[in-house]
Chain A
Amino acid sequence: MHISDGVLPPSVTVVSYVVTAGIVALQLRKLHYADYPKVAVMTSAFFVASLIHVPLGPTSVHLLLPGLTGMVLGPISFLAVTLGLILQCFLFQFGGITALGANALMMGLPAMAAGWIFHRFKMSDLKWNMILAGAIGSGSVICSALILGLLLYVSGEAFWGVAKIAVIAHIPVAIIEGIISASTVSFLQKVKPELLAVATRYPTG
């Protein structure tokens, strides 16, 4: 799910670039140096995840992992997602350079929302956290599909048509991501629970 060059009109491109740059600048100021390694690891995980393709009929879709990135990194996940997308764009030719801002918004906003929801509702109960992580992992993929539909709607497409196609195409990915998110979060909680503890840095969490 990457928007290519020339799909979006210039106005949408410029606005999405500006919004992305603003969020990234805010997060760079918020970034604590103790978080550097964690952000680096999650960025590389996000970057590589897009290479894992799930065959789906004649075409194939790939993992996105915005949910997991958001849950581990919290509010600074937008930074990780943007950096990962920049590198994917230059090294893998996924998505266009002009659409980078839109792609970052598409993946980054669900990631931030996922982090916020996870830290708002998580408990010490492992099973509850697993279910929550699975739901968030799936939901974030659907959410990015909806943002994709919204971005294309702003550029003059029919919203429901595009959104329906995007959501239907990503249902298998959403299911797989839910499973992966749930298992990863349960593993992290068992092995290294401090990796999931970023709630204190949320203003409302």
Chain B
Amino acid sequence: MKWRSTLFLVVFLVMVFDFSSEIPVRLSWNHGVRTAIAGTKEVSDTYCARAVNLLEKQNKMLSRDLRQIKRELLLLKTELSRPGIKEVFAGIGYIFGIFGVSAYMKARAMNKQNRES
């Protein structure tokens, strides 16, 4: 039974708080209070619009910046994937190394042959 009473309490509280914004309007037969509330509503509306406007502007700026950064990243990636001077010399070194080792093997074999004969 306990959760049922808790649920009831929660529903009641929600209702109270939901209507609480209307309570002053309902209770007050005074015209001044009504206009005052209406005025604050308008003010908050303009604030909201301004804030939304600002946020949209910032969003636009941010997305533009992001696009630019992405573009730069892509550029950097292609730049990095392009072989540099390091790879060139590495390749030349490999080629000369391979032929050097094979020449060395050949020379050793020929030396051996000479010694045997």
A: which residues have CB within 8 A of B?
Answer: 33, 36-37, 39-40, 43-44, 47-48, 51, 83-84, 87-88, 91-93
Separation of A51 and B110 alpha carbons in the complex (Å): 38
The answer to whether B96 has its CB under 8 Å from any CB of chain A is yes
Contacts of A37 in B (CB 8 A): 99
Among A37, A39, A87, A93: residue with most chain B CB under 10 A: A87
Given contacts A33-B106, A37-B99, whether A91 and B90 have CB atoms under 8 Å apart is yes
Give the size range of B's interface with the partner.
10 to 19
Residues of A within 8 A of B117 (CB): none
Given A40-B96, A44-B96, A83-B98, check contact A88 B103 (CB 8 Å). Answer: no
Q: Which of B87, B99, B106 contacts A92 (CB 8 A)?
A: B87
Identify which of B95, B103, B110 contacts A44 (C-beta below 8 A). B95
Taken together as a complex, chains A and B put the C-alpha atoms of A33 and B103 apart, in Å, by: 7
Known: A83-B95, A83-B98. A36 touches B90 (CB 8 A): no
Please name all residues of chain A whose beta carbon is closer than 8 Å to the beta carbon of B98 when the two chains form the complex: 40, 83
For B109, the closest partner residue in chain A by CB is A33
Are B92 and A44 in touch, CB under 8 angstroms? yes
> How many angstroms between the C-alpha atoms of A37 and B99 in the bound complex?
7
- CB-based contact A48/B92 at 8 Å: yes
- Smallest CB separation, B37 vs chain A (Å): 64
A48 to B91, CA, bound (A): 8
Q: Determine if B83 is an interface residue (Cβ-Cβ < 8 Å).
A: yes
Residue B88 CB within 8 A of the other chain: yes
Q: Which of B88, B91, B99 contacts A36 (CB 8 A)?
A: B99
Determine if B12 is an interface residue (Cβ-Cβ < 8 Å). no
A87 touching B94 in the complex, CB below 8 Å, given contacts A51-B88, A92-B87: yes
Contact with A along B67-83 (1 / 0, CB 8 A): 00000000000000101
B107 partner residues in chain A, CB cutoff 8 A = 33
User: Which residues in A have their C-beta under 8 angstroms from that of B91?
Assistant: 44, 47-48, 87-88, 91-92
Q: Which residues of A contact B95 (CB under 8 A)?
A: 40, 43-44, 47, 83-84, 87
How far is the CB of B68 from the nearest CB of chain A, in Å? 22
B58: interface (CB < 8 Å): no
Residues from chain A with Cβ under 8 Å of B102 in the complex: 36
The one of A33, A39, A92 that contacts B83, using a Cβ cutoff of 8 Å: A92
A43 to B93, CA, bound (A): 11
Kindly list chain B residues whose C-beta atoms are within 8 Å of the C-beta of A47.
91-92, 95
Query: Min CB distance, B40 to chain A, in Å?
Result: 60
Given contacts A48-B91, A48-B92, A84-B95, 10 further A-B contacts (CB under 8 A): A33-B110, A40-B98, A43-B95, A44-B92, A44-B95, A51-B83, A91-B87, A91-B91, A92-B87, A93-B81
